[in-house]
Homo-oligomer: A and B are copies of this chain.
Amino acid sequence: MSLNIPDTRQRELAQRLEHGQQIIATDVAAEFDVSIDTIRRDILSLEAAGKAERVRGGAVPLARPASPIHARLATAAPVDMGLVNLAITAIGSAQTLLIDGGVTTLALIAHLPDAADRFVITPSPWIAIACQERGIPVFLLGGALSPSGGIATGEETLGKVLNVAADIALLGACGIDSEFGLSSDIFEESQMKRAMQRSAQRTFIITDR
């Protein structure tokens, strides 16, 4: 079992708040298998430490004079934590990860255990930044940034992806079942995803359906 003490929980919660997620007391209580009171006290601590804004039912990240990036991250759509945990167990101890862009993969980085032992290769600047915040070494795949998905694409990038060998590829599903029709951007992206899939021993596609 993992250490379930105020310190650990609060660190985890603080991290989620940092990433713009909101804390729902009852959910988190269930997740950590403690009573709501305990989570309430955790939130009180976080508030005292200036790391959370307490609201009825839980806590939200405190508003901060946001730099552009943080603004974007703060407004991020709510992430399905169950999905994230599933993906994390799927990853296991794999060392070399090829990670696609997307809100779910982004949230995943924040909760990836054994950060020190990983190595991430990604075409997404968001993922790159998230990894750096956790001290995970990153190789950033260069290329023209696709406007829709925000990942690097292009001939050369494609070639590079095919040259790496990753243990696991984590792909977001968005863009595969394109709602936009098949614009050239989407085409570039899906081609990229396919290349990533080919370079990894195993592939997980993260989708909620």
Contacts and interface: CB of A to CB of B under 8 A. Distances in A.
A138 B145 contact: yes
Nearest to A78: B65
A52 B113 CA distance: 17
Interface string A112-142: 0111110000000110111111010111111
A96 interface: no
B130 A69 contact: yes
A2 interface: yes
A142 B144 contact: no
A70 to B, nearest CB: 6
Interface in A52-91: 55-58, 60-61, 64-70, 72-73, 76
**Residue of A58, A65, A150 with most chain B CB atoms under a 10 A cut-off:** A150
**Residue of A73, A113, A140, A147 with most chain B CB atoms under a 10 A cut-off:** A140
Provide the main secondary structure of the chain A interface.
mixed
Interface residues of A, number: 61
Contact of A142 (B22, B68, B140, B147): B140
Given A7-B56, A125-B125, A68 B115 contact: no
A132 B70 contact: yes
B76 A65 contact: yes
Interface stretch (A13-21, A32-40, A169-177, A197-205): A13-21
Contact of A67 (B18, B24, B106, B116): B106
25 contacts: A2-B24, A3-B22, A3-B55, A5-B55, A5-B57, A20-B114, A65-B76, A67-B76, A67-B133, A67-B135, A68-B106, A68-B110, A68-B130, A69-B126, A69-B129, A125-B129, A128-B145, A129-B129, A132-B150, A137-B144, A137-B145, A139-B142, A140-B143, A141-B142, A142-B142
